[in-house]
Amino acid sequence: MSESKPRSGLPVQEGRPMLEVFLTPEGHGMNGQSVDADSVLTSEMRRRLLKGMGMAAGAAAFYPLFSASSAMAAPGSSSAQYVYVGTYTGPNTAPGGVAPSQARGIYVFRMDPMKGGLTRVQVMEAENPSFLALSPDRRYLYSVNELGPDTAGKPQGRVSAYCIDPASGELAFINTQPTQGSWTCHCSVHPSGRYLFADNYGTGSFSVFPLGDNGEIGEMSDLVESSPNGLGPDGVRQEGAHAHMMITGPKGQHVFGIDLGADRLLAFELDMDTGKLSKGPVPYANVASGSGCRHMVFHPQKPYAYVLNELSSTVDVFDFYPERGSFIQTQSLSTLPADSEFGRPVFNPDNPGEVPTGSNTTAELRIHPQGRFLYATNRGMNSIAVFQVDDDSGQLINTGWVSSGGDIPRGMNLDLSGRFLYVGNQNSDTIKVFSIDPKSGALEGPIQTIDSPVPVDFAFRAFSG
C-alpha cells in the first residue's frame, strides 16, 4: 500500500505552506489557561447578531457541556489515568480486516502520565466491544457488542455495562441489553447520565436505554428507525439507512443521529421522563450526496459542529444554532492532500468495510479539549490529518498529515490532559502514541508503540491519587 507524501512535498493552501507536523519541540505540556465559556459564547453570539442573524434568543440556550479546563488533568498531577480499548474479537474478523482477530474483549491499561506509555492491567472478555462510552461521573463504562443477525435473520446487537474499580481501574460486568438492531457500532451517554444511546448500523436504527443509579442498563425505552426511503447514491454502502452515531448537543437540549446511508444528520428531542425521542424543530441537515457522514463533534466552547464523512474523505464545518438544533454549513474540505493518489473506493459488496489499495475512507474525528485543533484518521493513506480551528469562524486550516504508523487506523482519542493522541491501527495490532504540541497542535512521534490486538476505540478515566 502506498505511503503518505514526503515531508518536503506538503501542499500549499490559500498561499500558506502546510505546517510540518512530523517533528515538533519536545517537552511541551498544556499551558493551563482557563477558558470562560460564557464570555466566549456571548462574544460569539454578539458577532452573529452583528451579521444580522438574530440570535439573541438562542444565546441563553447554548452552554458547553464541559469547559476546556475542566476536561483536562494537570500534567504531572497525582491522578492515575486508565485507558480502555475496544476491539473486534476472535474468531470474528473486523470490518475490512485481513485475518481473524486475536482480541478477547476490552483491554484495560494504566497510562504513564509523563510519557504516554501503557501497561496492561486487565482483559475483560466480551464479544466485539468495538465502541466504548463513559458515564459523565466516569464510574461506569458502556460498550456496544457489534453483532450481526443470526442464521434466522434476528438482530443480535447488544450494549453492555461495567463498573470501574476506583482503586485499580479494572472492570466488573453489570449487565447487557439487546438493541433490537444489528451491527451496533456506536454508543454514547446523555450528559445527565440517565440515558444510553446506541446506533445499529445494519438495521439503520437508534436505540435508547434508561440507566440506573448503579450503572445498570434498563429495558429499551425507544427504538427509532431512520427513514427507509433515505437511500444514498452509493449502491453498496448506501443501499439503506446506516445509523453510525448518536450524539447529544451542548446543554443536552437536542440529540443528533448520524445516518451514513442517507447523508443526513437527524435531529431529535429527548423526553427526559419517558426516554422517547421526537423530531426536532428542524428534523435534519444534509451533507453532500454520497459523502456518507460517520461521526460528529461539537466545539467545546463555541457554537460550531464538525462532521466527518467516511465515503468522500471530507470534513464539513457547521454553524450550530442551539435554540432550534439546526446547522448551516460554512466549509467542506478534504482529509487528504490536494495531490493525493488516494481516491474513493469501489466498495466490495461481500466486505463493504474493505479499503482497496489506492483508496481511502475516514474513520474517527476528535477535537482537542481547548477547541483549537481537530484530528481525523484516514484508512488507506493510513494517516492522521491535522487541522487548526480558526477562533473567529470555527473554520479549519489544514496543517499537515502524519503517518499512523500502521494499517487501517480506525479509532483514536486524546487523553484527558490533551497532551497525547492514541491511534489504534486495526489491521497491524498496534496502538501508536503521539505527543501534541500545545501551540500548533502538531503531532510528534509515534513516541510509544503498544502491541494490542485489533484496537479500535479508546476511553479515558482518571482517579485522584
User: Where is pLDDT greater, at 210 or 25?
Assistant: 210
**What mean pLDDT, rounded, does the chain reach?**
86
User: Of 18-27, 117-126, 364-373, which range is least confident?
Assistant: 18-27
The pLDDT of residue 106 is above 80? yes
281 in any annotated domain: yes
111 in any annotated domain: yes
User: How do residues 358-381 score in pLDDT, each as one tens digit?
Assistant: 999 999 999 999 999 999 999 999
353 in any annotated domain: no
Residue % of the chain over a pLDDT of 90: 79
Nearest to 387 by CA among 327, 292, 314: 314
Rounded Cα distance, 229 and 212, in Å = 36
Per-residue cell: 195: 440515558
Nearest to 244 by CA among 260, 231, 226: 260
Rounded Cα distance, 459 and 42, in Å = 32
- Beta bridge pairs of residue 119: 110
- Report the first-to-last Cα separation within the chain, whole angstroms: 45
172 in any annotated domain: yes
Residue % of the chain over a pLDDT of 70: 82
Rounded Cα distance, 80 and 43, in Å = 37
What pLDDT is stored for residue 18 in this prediction?
37
Instruction: Assign residue 77 the CATH number of its domain.
Output: 2.130.10.10
458 in any annotated domain: yes
What pLDDT is stored for residue 460 in this prediction?
97
231 in any annotated domain: yes
The pLDDT of residue 2 is above 80? no
Rounded Cα distance, 158 and 181, in Å = 8
Residue type, 331: Q
CB 226 within 8 A of CB 267: no
What pLDDT is stored for residue 232 in this prediction?
86
Per-residue cell: 205: 436504527
User: How do residues 282-306 score in pLDDT, each as one tens digit?
Assistant: 999 999 999 999 999 999 999 999 9
Per-residue cell: 439: 501551540
Rounded Cα distance, 407 and 94, in Å = 13
1 in any annotated domain: no
Residue with cell 448506501: 238
| DSSP-derived pairing of the beta strands 443-451 and 430-436 | antiparallel
Residue with cell 443509579: 213
Let me know if 309 is exposed, middle or buried by CB neighbors in 10 A (0-12, 13-18, 19+). buried
Rounded Cα distance, 118 and 112, in Å = 6
User: Phi, psi at residue 58, to the nearest 5°?
Assistant: -85, -15
pTM of the model: 0.85
3-state DSSP call for residue 41?
A: helix
Assign 72 a pLDDT band (cuts: 50, 70, 90). very low
Assign 384 a pLDDT band (cuts: 50, 70, 90). very high
> Structural domain tally of the chain?
1
Per-residue cell: 9: 512535498
Rounded Cα distance, 387 and 448, in Å = 22
Average pLDDT over residues 119-143: 98
User: How do residues 134-190 score in pLDDT, each as one tens digit?
Assistant: 999 999 999 999 999 999 999 999 999 999 999 999 999 999 999 999 999 999 999
Contacts (Cβ under 8 Å, ≥6 apart) of 195: 189, 208, 209, 210, 211, 221, 270, 275
CB 318 within 8 A of CB 307: yes
Residue type, 377: T
Write out the residue range of the structural domain in which residue 284 sits: 7-346+359-463
3-state DSSP call for residue 381?
A: coil
352 in any annotated domain: no
